[in-house]
Structure 1
Amino acid sequence: MTATRDALRGATLLMAMVGIAGCAAGASPTLPQPSATPSPSPVESPTQTGRSAGMPGCPNFVEVVETGPFPDDGTEDGPLAREQSRLSDDVEAAVAYGAEHADEYASIRFENGPRVRIVIAFTGHIAEHCAALRELLEFSEEFEIILRERTEADLLAMQQEIVDLARPFLLSAGSGGVEGVIQVSLRANGEEMARHLVERYGDAIHVTVGVLSFPDRTRPDGLTTCSPTLGSLRRDTPLRATLVVDAAPVASGADFTATVRVANLGISDFDFQSGSPATAVVYLPGKVDAIGTYAGGIAGVGAGKVLGPLESIDIDVVGGTASCDPALGYALPPGSYEVRAVVDAYAMHDNGPTDIGYILSEAAPLTIVP
């Protein structure tokens, strides 16, 4: 598989993502003062002439990109991969064309459902770009062209400005996605910064604080609790996990670190395969549904060993106080809580797929302060 094909397997292309390393656990960064220099004005929307000019002469123009399921088996040579590979030369040609017209080029991506095709965006002269691409691309009926307000160059410049301004609170910032805006993810204690960014950049950005959208404080899934994203709770193991939080108390909105010791309480060897670091989730005392979680990124590595009877292994843990319940705010309020580590526990099979599961550590106390 070529590097180009690997890079384009997802729904979007040319995604510019900036990850910011976490501040020290428990630290609360100071909100920086905005520069006295005003932000560049957003690029003006195309005129009505430019908007309508692309419709009569461009059969590839769409106002709304249709989405939907695409049947795929998830393998590297499955239907989705084959379709994207078939269009890969057209993608490279379209990217090169966009680079030659950077003053109006906005983005390019694959849309995978209900059929695979290329979606390319410009800020104006739709008919001209459409005609040129129809001549250039091999599969002229398998791309769609859309209108955007801002070029890729404008978004990248704005993104860098946001990174510099929001750095103490920033988890990530990326442009080039489906919505044509900059996606900004802030720490759970970044509500004031989020308000400042939205006031400054308006609809050019979408901000998430912790795990909740700003300013409406919602979640795409509509849930109010935190659940492990992969696998199911394993109750068939002789493993016992004990959690020790490194520092207490923890400031509301801050992250923390811990260590979980996983011991084999069985009478025979247990092949324990997991990952490090594990993550922690926070509960109200005595409750079974988690309401707080870690919202940052994780660069995990494999961890594990064959544990003999009563043998143990220590695994690093990262946790956070981002609220999963919109009613509680972006960060868990001060109070007494319990925290458990979610420890991956994979079941390997010689002639079958790996079963992904997890175990929960015993609860440890956690105090959150203002």
Structure 2
Amino acid sequence: MDPSNKPKSTAPKDVGRHAHEFFDAARLLLADRFAEARFDPDRGLRVTIIELNDQDKASITNAAEQLGILDWIRIEHADPAALATWERLRHDLLQLQSAEAHLLMRYPTPDPGYRRPPVDIHLSADAETTAADLHHAYGDFVALQVGALPYPPKPQSSTTRRTTAPTDQREPANPAEMHIALEAPLEIRSGQTRTHGLLLTNLGTEAIRVHTNGNLTATILNNSGAVIGGYNGAQITPLIIFTAGPSETIRIPVLVGSASYQPELGYTIPPGTWHLTAPLDLADGRRLTTPALELTITD
């Protein structure tokens, strides 16, 4: 069962096909002492057990042998220090859930048990103080992200600098076909996210159908047109179509975030006058972008 004695090749497909069956058998055998199931880089199967004993090894070995995958099974003891650290961290996460849930963008379910470090925690762009507290308390046990950037900041170079600009090339919407404007002047606090309205007027003779997930998602630009930030978080993905008939004006929600993508700006886009654009995916297959529209970011 020592990983160092395993073959260096990749596990055969039978191992992957039986993975869920094997992991379910291990959970049934171990109950609350089952800590973790995962694939190793070579696609072997690893189970981590709290208070591992010889009977556990024999039972799991037997289950693997019955499935014909014994050579690709690894059994390990859950590190007591990691168990204790996760117990402290999960209570801190529960407190954050209760007091400042808006700061937690993505994090593991804070249930009792075991988490293999580093534990990934994604915080909102305005949660730098919370990130500092977690980093001070847990160090390398946590992998923190604040908005779009890692915490603590990493040394930047031309190869490590983050750019979250869209990689697909889009043509700007033709102003002779559609007029696009914000429904009202837009102000947003640095680090915050809000939904605003975009007005699209169809100037042509055919209907314009815009595919969305319920809203458009804005990207923030500096005065030279370079991408500097935007929304950084998960979204639901239903298909919701907004249709503008000839001479019709429709309102499309646009999600505007102010997380910074540029480390030199900090974790949030600083106060000032900036611009936003949003992608337009049309039903006819065209992939366009709105014109740059002005917004103000405040303290």
TM-score (norm 2): 0.76
Identity of aligned residues (%): 22
Equivalenced residue count is 285
Change (3 A) 1:254 1:274: closer
After the TM superposition, which residues 191-270 of structure 1 pair with which residues of structure 2 at under 5 Å, given as runs? 191-217=128-154, 222-228=160-166, 232-233=169-170, 240=178, 242-244=180-182, 248-270=186-208
Compare 323-332 and 177-186 and name the one that shifted more.
177-186
Residue type of the alignment partner of 2:289: L
Determine whether 1:142 maps to 2:72: yes
Shift of residue 62 of structure 1? Answer: 5.5
Is the contact between residue 243 and residue 363 of structure 1 (CA under 8 Å) also seen in structure 2?
no
Report the equivalent of 1:4: none
Of residues 278, 287, 291, the one that matches 2:228 is 291
Is the contact between residue 213 and residue 236 of structure 2 (CA under 8 Å) also seen in structure 1?
no
Residue type of the alignment partner of 1:282: I
Is the contact between residue 323 and residue 332 of structure 1 (CA under 8 Å) also seen in structure 2?
yes
Report the equivalent of 1:159: 90
Determine whether 1:184 maps to 2:115: no
Report the equivalent of 2:49: 122
Q: Which ranges in structure 2 are unaligned for 5 or more consecutive residues?
A: none
Q: Which ranges in structure 1 are unaligned for 5 or more consecutive residues?
A: 1-57, 71-78, 348-354
Change (3 A) 1:118 1:152: farther
Shift of residue 292 of structure 1? Answer: 0.8
Determine whether 1:362 maps to 2:291: yes
Residue type of the alignment partner of 1:365: E
Report the equivalent of 1:174: 108
Is the contact between residue 270 and residue 308 of structure 1 (CA under 8 Å) also seen in structure 2?
yes
SS in 2 for 1:198: helix
Report the equivalent of 1:315: 252
After the TM superposition, which residues 60-75 of structure 1 pair with which residues of structure 2 at under 5 Å, given as runs? 61=3
| Structure 1 residues 325-360: Cα deviation after superposition (integer angstroms, max 9, x where no partner) | 11111111122111112333455xxxxxxx7x7422
Residue type of the alignment partner of 2:60: L
- Calculate the aligned-residue CA RMSD, in Å: 3.9
Residue type of the alignment partner of 2:71: E
Shift of residue 189 of structure 1? Answer: 0.9
Change (3 A) 1:128 1:173: same
Of residues 109, 116, 124, the one that matches 2:38 is 109
Compare 203-212 and 175-184 and name the one that shifted more.
175-184
Determine whether 1:91 maps to 2:17: no
Change (3 A) 1:189 1:94: same
Cα distance in 2, alignment partners of residues 273 and 314 from structure 1: 13
Residue type of the alignment partner of 1:284: N
SS in 1 for 2:95: helix
Report the equivalent of 2:261: 324
SS in 1 for 2:268: coil
Shift of residue 306 of structure 1? Answer: 5.5
Residue type of the alignment partner of 2:95: D
Shift of residue 259 of structure 1? Answer: 1.7
